[in-house]
């Protein structure tokens, strides 16, 4: 299985970028992992949520790995424990999922057509995080799940 994180927009904070990159590097100990960037909505429409989501949706859908199982990070998605997430990840591996892509939307989230493409909508928390934080947190949880599945101790 290959892991991809597909995020809208480049990281603006070098600190969050370094953290997300560190966890992606850790994931690579277990599985191939890459980060893909979908273009943000242009400044002229960035303050209009529906238009921004629609524009970004086109970029997201075009950047998805062909045939990937898509997980959209969504505050309205399913919240699960780290243990339950590891079980879900193991299930995907056991059923032969070749490409697993985690989609992290932009400032306004993701459009309905992106949600419709998702096999699962995942909520990291009922709290709202910046997309930079969400990217680092998602990578950490994927690494935590893989470490757990490999029976490698990882701080609780």
Show me where the domains of the chain are located: 2-149
Please give the class, per CATH, of domain 2-149: alpha beta
pLDDT classification of 36: cutoffs 50, 70, 90 = very high
Reported as a single tens digit per residue, the pLDDT across 62-77 is: 999 999 999 999 989 9
The mean pLDDT of 32-53, rounded to a whole number, is: 88
Q: Is the pLDDT assigned to residue 45 strictly greater than 80? A: no
Mean pLDDT of the chain: 94
Torsion of CA 65, 69, 74, 77, to 10 degrees: 170
Q: Encoding tokens for residue 150?
A: 């490999």
pTM for this structure?
A: 0.94
pLDDT the model gives residue 156: 59
Are 9 and 37 within 8 A, CB to CB? yes
Identify which of 86, 74, 57, 58 has the alpha carbon closest to the alpha carbon of residue 119: 74
């Amino acid at each position: 299985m290959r892991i991809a994180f597909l995020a809208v927009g480049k990281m603006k904070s070098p600190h969050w970028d370094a953290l997300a990159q560190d966890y992606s590097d850790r994931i690579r100990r277990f599985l191939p992992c890459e980060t893909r960037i979908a273009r943000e909505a242009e400044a002229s429409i960035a303050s209009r949520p529906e238009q921004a989501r629609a524009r970004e949706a086109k970029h997201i859908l075009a950047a998805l790995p062909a045939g990937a199982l898509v997980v959209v990070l969504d505050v309205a998605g399913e919240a699960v424990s780290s243990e339950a997430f590891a079980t879900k990840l193991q299930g995907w591996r056991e059923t032969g999922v070749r490409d697993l892509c985690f989609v992290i939307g932009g400032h306004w989230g993701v459009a309905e057509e992106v949600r419709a493409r998702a096999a699962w909508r995942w909520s990291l928390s009922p709290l709202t995080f910046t997309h930079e934080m969400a990217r680092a947190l998602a990578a950490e949880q994927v690494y935590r799940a893989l470490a757990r599945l490999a029976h490698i101790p990882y701080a609780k």
